[in-house]
C-alpha cells in the first residue's frame, strides 16, 4: 500500500511520516501531496489565535473534548516557535492535551515554525491537507500567538477565534486595525480575572464600529471563566464549539465557505508557485556563487538590486 492510501485509511504512522517529510521538504513528499489532494476538502478548519499565555492550549484541549462528544474525528496542529539561535524548538502545547493521546479519534501534531516568516510554519497548509485526507472532520490549528501569524492563520482556516484575556482592555483599540478584523469569534478567556467586564464592553464597542464586517455574521464574544469548575468550563467551551458550527452554517448558506476556500487556495497556490519558481533559482545562484557575487556588486554600487533581479529573472525564465 502506498503512503497516500495509508493516509486515506487513517494510518497514524503514515500520516505522521508524511507530515514530517513535508516539514523536512523531502522531494517525494511533494509527489505524495499531489496524489493526496483529491482526498481533501471535507474537514472544517478552525484557527485559534491569541497572545502567548492567553490559554489557547487549554481551550484546544477542551474543544477536542467538545467535538469528540459529538463523535467528530479531530485533528490538531499546535505550532510553537523555533529558537532563532539554535534552530531547535520545545513543543510544549501537547502537554495540556495528553489526555486525548490514546483516543483513536484524535490526532495531535506539534509543529515548529522553523523560521517561516509569519510564525505559522510553511508546512501547516500541507499538514492540514493531510489531516483532512486522513478523515478528520474538524481540524484545529493553534498558532504561536505572536506577530504576523495572527493574520496568516486566516488563510488556513474557515473560522478563526481570537482568544483574549483581561488586562488588555486598553489595547483592544489599537488592535482593531490588525488581528481584530480577521477573527470570526472572540473568546475572553479567564474572564473572571479583574478587567474581564471592561474587556468585554470594550470589545463590543469596537466590534460595533467595525462596519460591514461580514454580511449576516456578527462576531460573537464568548466569556469563558471559572476554570476551577471543570464542568462549567467544559460547558462554556461547548458553547464555543456551537458558535463555530453556527459560523460554518452561515458560511455555507451565504456561499462564503467557497470564497474562503478560494482565498486559502490563492495564498497556497501563490506560495507553491513562488517555491517552484524561486527555490531552484536561489539554490542555483547559491551553489554557483553568483548570489554572493551579486551581493558584492550591489554593495560596491556596481549594480542595483532592481536591474539585477530583472536580468536574472529574465535569464532563468528563458531557460
Partner 1 sequence: MSKRPIRILVAKPGLDGHDRGARILARCFRDAGHEVVYTGCHQTPEQIAAAALQEDVDCVGLSCLSGAHKHLFPKVVQLLREQDAGDIVVIGGGIIPKQDFPVLYDAGIKEIFTPGTPLPEIVDWINEHVVPGREL
Partner 2 sequence: MYFAKELLEKCSSLRKKWEDQVKKILSRQGERKERFSTVSDHDIKRLYSPEDIKDLDFEKDIGFPSQFPYTRGLHPTGYRGRFWTYRMFSGMGTARDTNQRWHMLLQNGQTGLSTAFDFPTLMGLDTDSPKALGECGRCGVAIDTLEDFLLLVDRIPLGEVTTSMTINPPATVLWAMYCAAAEKKGVALDQIGGTIQNDMLKEFIAQKTFMCPPEPSVKLISDTIEFGARSVPRWNTVSISGYHIREAGSTAVQELAFTLRDGMEYVEDVVRRKGLHPDEFAPRLSFFFNAHIDFFEEICKMRAARKIWARVMRDRYKAKEERSWWMRFHTQTAGCSLTAQQPYNNVIRTATEALSAVLGGTQSLHTNSLDEVWCLPTDHAVQIALRTQQIIAEETGVANTIDPLAGSYFVEQLTREMEEGAWEYIERIDDMGGMLAAIDQGFPQMEIADAAYRFQTQIDSGEKVMVGVNKYVTEEAEECPLLDIDEAVEQGQLKRLAETKRKRNDRSVRTSLDDLRRACKKGENVMPVCIEAVKNLCTVQEICDVYREVYGLYQDPGLF
Site residues (vs partner 1, CB under 8 A): 3, 12-13, 16-21, 24-26, 28-29, 32, 82-83, 85-92, 94-95, 98, 101-102, 107-110, 112, 114
Q: Which is nearer to partner 2, 69 or 262 (CB)?
A: 69
Q: How far is the CB of 93 from partner 2 (least distance, A)?
A: 7
Tell the residue number behind the cell numbers 479519534, with chain if given. Answer: 105
Q: Is 147 helix (H, G, I), strand (E, B) or coil?
A: coil
Grid coordinates of 254: 451565504
Q: Which is nearer to partner 2, 159 or 189 (CB)?
A: 189
From partner 2, partner 1, none, which one binds at residue 125 (CB under 5 to 8 Å depending on kind)?
A: none
From partner 2, partner 1, none, which one binds at residue 194 (CB under 5 to 8 Å depending on kind)?
A: partner 2
From partner 1, partner 2, none, which one binds at residue 309 (CB under 5 to 8 Å depending on kind)?
A: none
From partner 2, partner 1, none, which one binds at residue 109 (CB under 5 to 8 Å depending on kind)?
A: partner 1
Q: How far is the CB of 228 from partner 2 (least distance, A)?
A: 4
Per CB under 8 A, residues contacting partner 2 are 53, 57-58, 61, 90, 92-96, 98-99, 190, 193-194, 227-231, 233
Q: Which helix (H) or strand (E) holds 107?
A: strand 106-112
Grid coordinates of 107: 490526532
From partner 1, partner 2, none, which one binds at residue 26 (CB under 5 to 8 Å depending on kind)?
A: partner 1
Q: How far is the CB of 73 from partner 1 (least distance, A)?
A: 14
- Of 174, 229, 164, 230, which Cα lies nearest the Cα of 197? 164
Q: Which is nearer to partner 2, 177 or 228 (CB)?
A: 228
Contact in structure between 229 and 199 (CB atoms under 8 Å): no
Q: How far is the CB of 185 from partner 2 (least distance, A)?
A: 23
Helix 256-288 × helix 230-253 angle, to 10°: 90
Q: Is 75 helix (H, G, I), strand (E, B) or coil?
A: strand
Sign for the pseudo-dihedral over CA of 56, 57, 61, 64: positive
Residue 27: HSE in the Cβ half-sphere, 13 Å Cα cutoff = 2
Q: How far is the CB of 140 from partner 2 (least distance, A)?
A: 17
Q: Which is nearer to partner 2, 66 or 134 (CB)?
A: 66
Q: How far is the CB of 104 from partner 1 (least distance, A)?
A: 9
Q: Which helix (H) or strand (E) holds 78?
A: strand 74-80
Q: Which is nearer to partner 1, 112 or 224 (CB)?
A: 112
Produce one character per residue of 180-211: b if its CB has 16 or more CB atoms within 10 Å, e if not: bebbbbbbbbbbeeebbeebbebbeeebeeee
Q: Which is nearer to partner 2, 92 or 178 (CB)?
A: 92
Instruction: Compute how many other C-beta atoms are within 10 angstroms of the C-beta atom of residue 257.
Output: 18
Amino acid at each position: 500500500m502506498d503512503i497516500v492510501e495509508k493516509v486515506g485509511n487513517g494510518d497514524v504512522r503514515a500520516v505522521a511520516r508524511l507530515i514530517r517529510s513535508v516539514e523536512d521538504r523531502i522531494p517525494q513528499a511533494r509527489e505524495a501531496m499531489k496524489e493526496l489532494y483529491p482526498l481533501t476538502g471535507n474537514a472544517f478548519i478552525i484557527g485559534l489565535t491569541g497572545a502567548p499565555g492567553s490559554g489557547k492550549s487549554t481551550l484546544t484541549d477542551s474543544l477536542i473534548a467538545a467535538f469528540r462528544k459529538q463523535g467528530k474525528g479531530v485533528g490538531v496542529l499546535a505550532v510553537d516557535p523555533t529558537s532563532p539561535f539554535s534552530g531547535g524548538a520545545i513543543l510544549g502545547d501537547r502537554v495540556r492535551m495528553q489526555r486525548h493521546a490514546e483516543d483513536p479519534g484524535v490526532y495531535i501534531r506539534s509543529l515548529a515554525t522553523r523560521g517561516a516568516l509569519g510564525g505559522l510554519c510553511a508546512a501547516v497548509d500541507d499538514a492540514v491537507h493531510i489531516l483532512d485526507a486522513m478523515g478528520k472532520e474538524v481540524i484545529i490549528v493553534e498558532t504561536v500567538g505572536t506577530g504576523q501569524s495572527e493574520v496568516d492563520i486566516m488563510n488556513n482556516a474557515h473560522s478563526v477565534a481570537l482568544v483574549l484575556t483581561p488586562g488588555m482592555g486598553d489595547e483592544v483599540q489599537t488592535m482593531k486595525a490588525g488581528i481584530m478584523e480577521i477573527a470570526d469569534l472572540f473568546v475572553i478567556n479567564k474572564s473572571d480575572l479583574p478587567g474581564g467586564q471592561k474587556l468585554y464592553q470594550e470589545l463590543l464597542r469596537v466590534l460595533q464600529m467595525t462596519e460591514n464586517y461580514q454580511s449576516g455574521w456578527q462576531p460573537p464574544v464568548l466569556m469563558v471563566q471559572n476554570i476551577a469548575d471543570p464542568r462549567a468550563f467544559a460547558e462554556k467551551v461547548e458553547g464555543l464549539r456551537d458558535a463555530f458550527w453556527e459560523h460554518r452554517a452561515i458560511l455555507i448558506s451565504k456561499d462564503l465557505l467557497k470564497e474562503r476556500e478560494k482565498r486559502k487556495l490563492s495564498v497556497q497556490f501563490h506560495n507553491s508557485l513562488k517555491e517552484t519558481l524561486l527555490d531552484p533559482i536561489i539554490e542555483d545562484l547559491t551553489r554557483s556563487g553568483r548570489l554572493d557575487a551579486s551581493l558584492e556588486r550591489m554593495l560596491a554600487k556596481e549594480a542595483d538590486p532592481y536591474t539585477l533581479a530583472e536580468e536574472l529573472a529574465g535569464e532563468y525564465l528563458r531557460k
